[in-house]
Structure 1
Amino acid sequence: MDCQDLVELITAYLDDALDEPTRRRFDEHLAECDPCVAYVEQFKTTVGSLASLHTDAPQQLNPDFTLRLLSAFRDWK
């Protein structure tokens, strides 16, 4: 797996939706690539921040916007 493959699979990885061989390749790549480790951590932080916004102030977020944002991250390549 290369870095581009990892970027394309990150949401499936975080959703625990990868098949076992792909997850193993993902983890093997992370074991060898510090920039991708940083990318995964940044992605987790971003998702966590967005989740806390939604939890702390759901009345401020338009549900349509939330769905579009989630869709954009899922489909982003």
Structure 2
Amino acid sequence: MTCEEFVELVTAFLEGALDEPAEHAFVEHLAECPGCERFLDQFRTTISRLGELPPESLSDDTRERLLDAFRDWPHA
């Protein structure tokens, strides 16, 4: 699994929505990649501090800028 694939699956992983092979690949990548481990920790921290942010509260432009920022997030 690449870091990009990992980032795309973070939400599904946290929701317990990955099938067994995908979850295994996710956890295996997590064990080998400190950058993705930090990303997951940051994601969990954001969720715990902000709670749920309804999608409709973001403008389309803001949503796209956030998605672009995370797509370009450095992967160690």
Q: Same fold (TM over 0.5)?
A: yes
Deviation string for 1:27-53 (max 9, x for gaps)? Answer: 0000100000000000000000112xx
Please say if 1:19 is aligned against 2:19: yes
Structure 2: runs of 5+ lacking an equivalent: 72-76
Pairwise CA RMSD of aligned residues? 2.3
Residue 68 of structure 1 deviates from its aligned partner by: 1.2
The residue number in structure 2 matching 1:68 is: 55
- Judging changes above 3 Å, is the alpha-carbon distance between structure 1 residues 4 and 68 closer, same or farther for their aligned structure 2 residues? same
Q: Distance in 2 between matches of 1:50 and 1:38?
A: 18
- Judging changes above 3 Å, is the alpha-carbon distance between structure 1 residues 12 and 69 closer, same or farther for their aligned structure 2 residues? farther
Over the matched positions of the two proteins, sequence identity in percent amounts to: 43
The TM-score with structure 2 as length reference comes to 0.70
The residue number in structure 2 matching 1:32 is: 32
Structure with the greater alpha carbon radius of gyration: 1
Quick one: which amino acid aligns to residue 13 of structure 2? Y
Moved over 4 A (4+): 69-72
How many residue pairs get aligned? The number is: 61
